[in-house]
Amino acid sequence: MVKSKHTILVTGSNGQLGNELKRLQHEYPEFDFIFTDSSDLDITNKESVHKYINRVKPDITINCAAYTAVDDAETNASDAMLLNGEAPGFLADATSQIGKKLIHISTDYVFGGSGNTPFKENSPTNPNSVYGKTKLIGEANAMKMGNAIVLRTAWLYSSFGNNFVKTIKRLASSNYEIKVVFDQIGSPTWAHDLAQAVLAICSAPNFTTGIYHYTNEGVCSWYDFALEIVNWYNYSCSVIPVETSSFPRPANRPAYSVLNKNLIKSTYGLAIPHWKKSLQCCLKEIE
């Protein structure tokens, strides 16, 4: 039987990125999409992963599933390790056994956060949280069979689920002032743009395996990010810049986690929107 369309399997599709991929599926009629959540396909179950992938035989598997509760990971390290660290290896084994491809999503938290120039794909990693450590192990496991692209991203937000943008909107609408850290620097990323990038890779003639970085263009602190949100809504709430030490959290956050995106731009010809422009698009949607 001749297969006319390529099949894309998305795991963990109830999250921010998964929902954005669902939204974009109609723009890609050349693909048959299969969206799974943890009840359809639990990627921590090695046997289920092999059975599912053998049955469906997806041309490309996009893994959006992850243990993303960064603070909880500090006390649930074994759960985080299974989902972030080991499960990408199950996907790599199963997809490579049928000669197919894997796109796995990783994070800026693989970097420790010291530095002042954007991290390249081959910059030394040095995670300082359980989340970052487990995601770094997941990268290696995803790539061990040589059939994977690992896409590191950062500061994801969207109109789906809970995220920084929605938290700031909620707090600023009901408080006269909010405090936000100014000494953590990165690049916000609209999950919609990341989903576009993932699908651009799926559509490209070349599937060049390895690690890539993708965030929106531009750099800011969480304080700048919050201020932009509050100003967009015209809330009268004041945004007060504070140091990270004012907000002790179980997990360490990288102080500097800007990613250099030249490789993905040159390999896949991507034009990446600036974070402020994408934030406005997302805020209009949330409205």
Ligand X SMILES: NC(=O)c1ccc[n+]([C@@H]2O[C@H](COP(=O)([O-])OP(=O)(O)OC[C@H]3O[C@@H](n4cnc5c(N)ncnc54)[C@H](OP(=O)(O)O)[C@@H]3O)[C@@H](O)[C@H]2O)c1
Smallest gap from residue 2 Cβ to ligand X (A): 31
Q: Which of 88, 125, 87 is nearest to 109 (CA)?
A: 125
Radius of gyration from C-alpha coordinates of the chain: 19
> CA torsion angle for 270, 110, 227, 18 (degrees, to 10)?
60
Note the Cα 258 to chain centre separation in Å: 14
Site string for ligand X, 105-144 (x = CB under 6 A): x-x---------------------------x---------
> Among 8, 11, 89, 103, which residue interacts with ligand X (rule: CB under 6 A)?
11
Active-site residue, selected from the candidate residues 67, 131, 212, 256:
131
Contact between 9 and ligand X (CB under 6 A)?
Answer: no
- The number of CA neighbours under 13 Å toward the Cβ of 217 is 9
Q: Which is nearer to ligand X, 31 or 67 (CB)?
A: 67
279 binds ligand X per the rule CB under 6 A:
no
CB atoms within 10 A of CB 2: 3
Judge contact between 63 and 37, C-beta under 8 A. no
Of 139-178, binders to ligand X (CB under 6 A) are 153-156, 161
Residue 239 sits in the site that holds ligand X (CB under 6 A): no
Determine the Cα–Cα distance for residues 195 and 8; give it in Å rounded to an integer: 13
Residue 17 vs 81, nearer CB to ligand X:
17
DSSP code of residue 152: E
Q: Which is nearer to ligand X, 5 or 247 (CB)?
A: 247
67 is catalytic: no
Among 6, 7, 42, 242, binds ligand X (CB under 6 A): 42
Integer Cα distance of 285 and 287 in angstroms: 5
| Contact status, residue 96 vs residue 145, Cβ threshold 8 Å | yes
Question: Does residue 64 belong to the site contacting ligand X (CB under 6 A)?
Answer: yes
At 180, give phi and psi (nearest 5°).
-135, 140
Which range in 7-15, 22-30, 240-248, 252-260 contacts ligand X by CB under 6 A?
7-15
Is 38 a binding residue for ligand X by CB under 6 A? The answer is yes
Contact 105, 47 (CB under 8 A): no
Residue 282 near residue 190 (C-beta atoms within 8 A): yes
Q: Least separation, in Å, of the C-beta of 65 and ligand X?
A: 3
- Closest approach, Cβ 81 to ligand X, in A, equals 12
Residue of the chain from 8, 17, 92, 130 that contacts ligand X (CB under 6 A): 17
In this chain, which residue has its C-beta nearest to ligand X? 15
Q: Give the Cα separation of 80 and 99 in Å (integer).
A: 28
Residues that bind ligand X (CB under 6 A): 11-12, 14-18, 37-38, 42-44, 64-66, 68, 83, 105, 107, 135, 153-156, 161, 191
Active site residues per annotation: 131
